[in-house]
Amino acid sequence: MTGSARPKIPRRALDGVLLLDKPLGLSSNDALIRAKRLYLAKKAGHTGTLDPLATGLLPLCFGEATKFSQDLLEADKTYEATMRLGIRTTTGDAEGEAIDTREVTCDEAQVLAAMANFRGEITQVPPMYSALKRDGKPLYEYARAGQTVERDGRQVTIHALDLIACALPLVTFRVTCSKGTYVRTLAEDIGEALGCGAHLVALRRTGVGALTLAHAVTLDALSDAPEAERDGWIQPVDALLSTFPAVHLDADATRRFLHGQRLKLAEVSAQPLDDGRVRVYAEDGAKLLGVAKAGEGVLAPERLVVTAN
């Protein structure tokens, strides 16, 4: 007879958001697994991956917050990045092998002029080393097999692109961009515009929507903190929804909303609301009920928070 089975550790029904400062060399999924284990959480998910070579803000959603993770996937992102001019690599970053080396003859003024052409709406061709799929298979699998497949250009928006430091051949910049933007590709394209090529050597995400690194915590700090203090890093579910207007419902409207009923805006909001998504609270403001869509004079429930019942 073998030894007795190891007792199963009970998991917590934890609801909220952890702003994690992901370390270098760890995948987003590995970071999520470690945080979930520290909190003994039943359910958790992240809001968009960071490559192992990237660091910075990785919002992790627990419990009911996972219902709203898509909102952060759609949100604009802000990064600080460093590119190395003069060398192109297979992956567009420092993980790949050098495939082209050229002399760097530009100066800071030329770097600034080149960057100016990448603000606003631009077209990017997704890199081969990406998780986008072709015929059900990620592009990186084709790339690892030495194959290149055609990729259509995609429209993305560069809301801001600013030079932080220029110590050629290294250039550090800050970029705020729409979802689907590849900063690796942006660095490569700027390098091509300068005639010397480039690849990314460092990437740090500093913002996701309205969330920033200001209230983020590292895995090391979480591991070292007493168990009773870790919950202090968990933000409420509505931290993901801070950019949405708020609507507060009385007891009767709350009951009807939680039953999925559409409500007349004129009856539940004294202030006019633009069409779009709103966060909905019980009258006292303490309970987030969920998210709704306002439009055509109606408040229509979209996603409800179970713990509000």
Q: Same structural domain for residues 178 and 233?
A: no
Is 51 known to be catalytic? yes
Question: Among the options 15, 21, 30, 51, which is catalytic?
Answer: 51
Q: Same structural domain for residues 132 and 217?
A: no
Q: Same structural domain for residues 166 and 21?
A: no
Give the model's pLDDT for residue 23. Answer: 96
- Assigned domain for 10 exists: no
- Assigned domain for 194 exists: yes
The model carries a pTM of: 0.88
* Angle, alpha carbons 190-193-195 (nearest 5°): 115
Spell out the per-residue pLDDT of the chain, length 309, in tens: 455 566 677 778 899 999 999 999 999 999 999 999 999 999 998 887 888 889 999 999 999 999 888 878 888 999 999 999 999 999 999 989 999 999 999 999 999 999 999 999 999 987 766 667 777 777 667 767 776 777 778 899 999 999 999 999 999 999 999 998 999 999 999 999 999 999 999 999 999 999 999 999 999 999 999 988 999 999 999 988 888 889 999 999 999 999 999 999 888 876 777 888 899 999 877 789 999 999 888 999 999 987 544
Give the model's pLDDT for residue 6. Answer: 63
Quote the tokens at residue 92: 């567009």
Residues 54 and 145: beta-carbon distance below 8 Å = no
- Assigned domain for 152 exists: yes
Q: Domain tally for the chain?
A: 3
Q: Same structural domain for residues 181 and 83?
A: yes
In whole angstroms, give the CA distance from residue 229 to residue 294: 39
* Angle, alpha carbons 75-79-84 (nearest 5°): 145
* 45 burial via Cβ count (<10 Å: 0-12, 13-18, 19+): middle
Q: Same structural domain for residues 44 and 116?
A: no
Q: Same structural domain for residues 32 and 59?
A: yes
Q: Same structural domain for residues 179 and 264?
A: no
Amino acid symbol at 183: V
- Assigned domain for 9 exists: no
Quote the tokens at residue 173: 């910049």
* 107 burial via Cβ count (<10 Å: 0-12, 13-18, 19+): exposed
Q: Same structural domain for residues 32 and 180?
A: no
Q: Domain containing 121 — which CATH number? A: 3.30.2350.10
Q: Same structural domain for residues 69 and 84?
A: no
- Assigned domain for 70 exists: yes
Pick the closest to residue 71 from 212, 279, 269, 247 (CA basis). Answer: 279
- Whether the CA torsion 137, 141, 145, 150 is positive or negative: it is positive
Q: Domain containing 298 — which CATH number? A: 2.30.130.10
Give the model's pLDDT for residue 65. Answer: 92
Quote the tokens at residue 247: 């609507």
Q: Same structural domain for residues 98 and 131?
A: yes
Range(s) of the domain holding residue 253: 244-308
Q: Same structural domain for residues 196 and 292?
A: no
Give the model's pLDDT for residue 199. Answer: 97
Q: Same structural domain for residues 65 and 86?
A: no
Residues 61 and 46: beta-carbon distance below 8 Å = yes
